[in-house]
Structure 1
Amino acid sequence: MPLILSVGETLFWFGSVFWYSALLLPCPINARRDKIDYLKRNLHIFIQKRLAMIALKKNPNKNFVILNLTDIQLSFEEFDKNHRACKILDYTVNTLIERTHPDLITICGDLCSENEDEGYNAFAEFFDELGIPWAPIFGNHDNMSPPEFLDKIADRFLTHPLCIFEKGDREMGNGNFVVEIEENGKTVSALIMADAHEVTPFTDENGDTKYSYETFWSKQFDWYREQIEALKNKGCKDSTLILHTPLFAYRDAAKAAYKNSVDLKTMTWEESLTQKVWNENFKDSCGLYKDDICAPVFDDGVFMLLKELGHTKNVIAGHDHKNNFIINYNGINLAYATKTGIGCYYDKDINGGTILEIGSNGVERIYQELVDMTSFL
């Protein structure tokens, strides 16, 4: 049956072709060929997105690679190509692309300096120029902006053909959506992209008002159940939750996994790859733990939900810039996304991205890819 497009969809098609042409013009000839080949392979992504589907096709002959970045947090001024922060970001991201050849880039929050209109424009332009589909979610710093401002930014993201994003139900925040990875018409895995909001007030034992970071609002629990049920009905056997703020369970996992004798502040990445820093049953863990875990103060219940449904095998969170551990806790990989660049605050030894490799039966591997940026410092 031929594909029949409405007038609006036809206009989007021709608009996209014009946009791709503009994107490719300034590139050197080899880069243009690479982008043309890429877009030929992946053009269905953009058509399906505008027909209310977010489904990316996986090549049956290779793994589908996702490069996750986090906490870029540059200002409009810092996004200037001549600024050191932008040079580090550009070098880091392009090095990661050369090493991993991603099919999709996800960015799990704190995209740029909050409430800075031009900064979000510069952020989107930076990722458009890479020529690879990119899927952002908002972090707590993004959510510090007024809701109407964030809504405007979300609408703007939707005008970028390479951006994969949906606003979702406003009662759940801004930016809750599912990206399915399909092979030969079957959904083999999925990314559940969730808004983790900002902070919520609570009263402590002394009657004082304090604030706790958030993960899921109440309606997101039902939404998550619905998405998992739909994925199971399609025969999909695994999913990955990507959000900005770590779950409450990250604290329990770290406490259980690291040996008490380890000096977490001075431990190196190389040392984290050895078994000497990990307790029994956590020997396959890796990564650094130099920041406090700024998760919700009280158990958010999300980890219990994941265990109950038995579908999500990986969680990726950002937020704490000096953490990048991956710990398998009760059968679920709790991963801190490696911070990308020097925005806001950073550790010179923690720079890069987190990689998900998806095969024909779901996620086959999750790992950290570090990029040395010391030559810029």
Structure 2
Amino acid sequence: MIKNPIRNALLLAFFVSSFCALGQNKNALKFDSSGEFKIAQFTDTHINMDKNSNLDVYEIVRGVLKKEQPDFVILTGDIVTQANPVKGYDLFAELFSEFEIPWAVVFGNHDSQHDFSRESLAGYLKELPFCLNDDVGGIAGNSNFILPVYGQSSQVSALLYCFDSHSRSTLQPVVDGYGWFDYSQIMWYRDKSAEYSRVNNGKPVPALAFFHIPLPEYTAAWNNKSVAPVGVKNEDECSPDINTGMFAAMLECGDVMGTFVGHDHINDYIGVHYNIALAYGRVSKVMKGADDPLAGGRIIVLKEGRREFDTWIRNMKGTTELQCNWPETFFPKEQ
């Protein structure tokens, strides 16, 4: 295939201009001078001010931010579950503004169980300071967007795919359980992945994906006999009963190194299925069971120009847990 440097340069300029126009206090995400980009994932906070429930989450998050000083925060669903979520999200906006950290939200199954529709909440979040939510529209769900991470020479060096994994089955009573990715989302992902690869001289751009409900393939990752997971599984994976092929699309596109979810509060493992890391965050609200994971957040550090990331849990007591590296922890280099 004949390469066209002018066309590639124009496409790159288009992507840069599209994603840099993020509004006031919404700067583009960038690797630091050492070639690292640190993400903090918080999940399943279930804040309900009407019931005075889980309000200590804000201080838990604050403590992790002080320890880790991340470049970006992602909230992976079931965040504010009261009738009117505005005040709860306003407090998150104040907290992240205090630290001047950009942040984003993908919706969980409980984020549409209040007076705000998903569409209304998506519109509200877009206007909050430092929030990078920018739902693409035209496909199923209301928290679908891509956040590029730029390298030292202003090229797109990594991608953060953000997806709405929906709520409940739309085929009840025939199919019960949780929602699944719609084909429109899978096609949108495939198209965008291919576009970024074309701009990158035909090479997939290293990427992570964030959503709420675990893919059905998570069970296979935990049961992988060849590559042991890191972390715990204290409950069965609550995945959808219908598999529409998002994992297969990621495998075929070749860009996604790992996916990061919430939903199952007392699971925090990272496992491997067909060379993709399938990971949970750490529940960020305080659980009641003596053996339940200690509330906190998952930290992920991307490395510019490499298909690699470090990850660990920072719990509410400030302790580091489950530190590992993708892929070396799971596929050690031969000595």
Shared topology, TM-score over 0.5? Answer: yes
Displacement after TM superposition at 1:299 (Å): 2.3
- Counterpart position of 1:336: 280
Displacement after TM superposition at 1:129 (Å): 3.4
Displacement after TM superposition at 1:108 (Å): 0.8
Amino acid aligned to 2:144: N
Q: TM-score scaled by structure 2? A: 0.79
Displacement after TM superposition at 1:291 (Å): 1.6
Residue 239 of structure 2 corresponds to residue 295 of structure 1? yes
- Counterpart position of 1:143: 112
Query: What are the superposed Cα offsets for residues 255-314 of structure 1, whole Å, 9 maximum, x if unpaired?
Result: x23xxxxxxxxxxxxxxxxxxxxx4x214x211101221101132311111111111111
Residue 259 of structure 2 corresponds to residue 315 of structure 1? yes
CA distance in 1, matches of 2:19, 2:188: 25
Residue 102 of structure 2 corresponds to residue 133 of structure 1? yes
- Counterpart position of 1:214: 179
Alpha carbons 1:72, 1:112 under 8 Å: kept: yes
CA distance in 1, matches of 2:306, 2:59: 30
CA distance in 1, matches of 2:257, 2:49: 37
- Counterpart position of 1:188: 157
- Counterpart position of 2:166: 197
RMSD between superposed Cα atoms in Å: 2.9
CA distance in 2, matches of 1:66, 1:121: 21
Displacement after TM superposition at 1:333 (Å): 0.2
Query: What are the superposed Cα offsets for residues 39-58 of structure 1, whole Å, 9 maximum, x if unpaired?
Result: xxxxx99963139x984122
Alpha carbons 1:246, 1:317 under 8 Å: kept: yes
Displacement after TM superposition at 1:63 (Å): 0.8
Change (3 A) 1:347 1:339: farther
Residue 214 of structure 2 corresponds to residue 246 of structure 1? yes
CA distance in 2, matches of 1:309, 1:46: 22
Amino acid aligned to 1:211: D
SS at 2:45 equivalent: coil
Alpha carbons 2:96, 2:103 under 8 Å: kept: yes
Change (3 A) 1:178 1:343: farther
Change (3 A) 1:220 1:84: closer
Structure 1 unaligned blocks of 5 or more: 1-43, 258-278
Amino acid aligned to 1:282: V
SS at 1:296 equivalent: coil
* 2:90 alignment partner, one of 121, 131, 139: 121
Displacement after TM superposition at 1:344 (Å): 9.8
CA distance in 2, matches of 1:346, 1:196: 30
Query: What are the superposed Cα offsets for residues 171-230 of structure 1, whole Å, 9 maximum, x if unpaired?
Result: 321011000011111111110000111111446xxxx64423123111001100111012
Higher helix share: 1
Residue 305 of structure 2 corresponds to residue 361 of structure 1? yes
Indicate the percent of aligned positions where both proteins have the same amino acid. 25
Residue 102 of structure 2 corresponds to residue 158 of structure 1? no
Alpha carbons 1:180, 1:189 under 8 Å: kept: yes
* 1:70 alignment partner, one of 43, 51, 57: 43
CA distance in 2, matches of 1:61, 1:312: 23
SS at 2:54 equivalent: helix
Change (3 A) 1:373 1:291: farther
Amino acid aligned to 2:308: E
Q: Which moved more, 1:67-76 or 1:291-300?
A: 291-300
* 2:69 alignment partner, one of 98, 101, 104: 101
Query: What are the superposed Cα offsets for residues 106-155 of structure 1, whole Å, 9 maximum, x if unpaired?
Result: 11111111432333434433433332111111111003346x63322222
Alpha carbons 2:81, 2:113 under 8 Å: kept: no
Change (3 A) 1:318 1:345: farther
CA distance in 1, matches of 2:278, 2:19: 31
* 1:352 alignment partner, one of 264, 279, 296: 296
Amino acid aligned to 1:156: Y
- Counterpart position of 1:229: 194
Q: Which has the larger radius of gyration?
A: 1
Amino acid aligned to 2:133: F
CA distance in 2, matches of 1:190, 1:228: 9
Residue 48 of structure 2 corresponds to residue 57 of structure 1? no
**Off by >4 Å, runs of 4+ in structure 1:** 44-47, 343-348
CA distance in 2, matches of 1:316, 1:141: 18
- Counterpart position of 1:273: none
CA distance in 1, matches of 2:112, 2:288: 16
CA distance in 1, matches of 2:48, 2:31: 35
- The number of residues matched between the two structures is 296
Change (3 A) 1:178 1:347: farther
CA distance in 2, matches of 1:45, 1:368: 32
Change (3 A) 1:145 1:330: same
Amino acid aligned to 1:365: F
